[in-house]
Homo-oligomer: A and B are copies of this chain.
C-alpha cells in the first residue's frame, strides 16, 4: 500500500465514522483536499486492490480487509501521538502533522515495540481510543458537552475537533482531558454554557461545547 492509498483508506474510514458507511466522492475529496476526479481514480484503484467497494455514482466503502488496514493505520497514528507527547514532550496540538507521516512507516515490530514502550496506552492525547494489535477497541461512552442537560457532571475524556487552534484554546482556558466538568447553566439565546472546571467558573460558547466529550459520572 502506498502512502497516498493509505491516506485515502483512512479518510474513507473516518468519514464512515468507523462504521464503514458509504461515503461520497465529494466528501473524500474535501477531506483529502483533492479534486473529485482524483478521488474517482483512486477509489477505482482501491477497488481493484480489494480494499474498497466502489459503485459508480453510488459511493465507496471499505472491504473487510480495507477496514483491517484502516485500523492498523489508526493504531499507528495514535501510538505515535502518544509517543510524541509522553516521550518527546510535544504539546497535544503539535502531534498530528508528524503522526500523519509516522503512521506510514512499515514495520510491525516497530509498532508493537512502541506499544510496549508506551505501556499499551488505551487512548491517544486527544482521548481517541487506540485499536489493539488485532484491531479491537472499545468505543467509549461519551457525550458532547453541548448535548448534555444542565446539572450534569462528568470527566472530560476527549475532543471532537483536534485542530491546533481548538486545542490551544483549551490550554489557554485550563481545560484538559481528565478534568471534572459541571454544567451550571445554559444560555437560551446562543447556547453558550456556564461551567465549572477545577474550582473555576467559566463561560464557553456553544461551538466549544460541541467539540468536548464528557464521560458522565452522575
Q: Which residues of A contact B (CB under 8 A)?
A: 84, 87-90, 94, 97-98, 101-102, 105-107, 109-110, 113-114, 117
Contacts and interface: CB of A to CB of B under 8 A. Distances in A.
Contacts of A114: 88
Contact of A110 (B98, B105, B106, B109): B98
| Identical subunits present | 2
A107 B113 contact: no
A154 B154 CA distance: 65
18 contacts: A84-B110, A87-B117, A88-B110, A88-B113, A88-B114, A88-B117, A89-B113, A90-B109, A90-B113, A94-B109, A97-B107, A98-B105, A98-B107, A98-B110, A101-B105, A101-B106, A101-B107, A102-B105
Contacts of A113: 88-90
A128 B113 CA distance: 24
A109 B94 CA distance: 10
Main secondary structure, interface of A, reads helix
A132 B90 CA distance: 21
Contacts of A90: 109, 113
Contacts of A84: 110
A84, A106, A110, A113 pick with most chain B CB within 10 angstroms:
A110
Contacts of A117: 87-88
Contacts of A94: 109
A175 to B, nearest CB: 24
Question: Which 3 pairs show the lowest CB-CB distances between chains A and B?
Answer: A88-B113, A98-B107, A101-B105
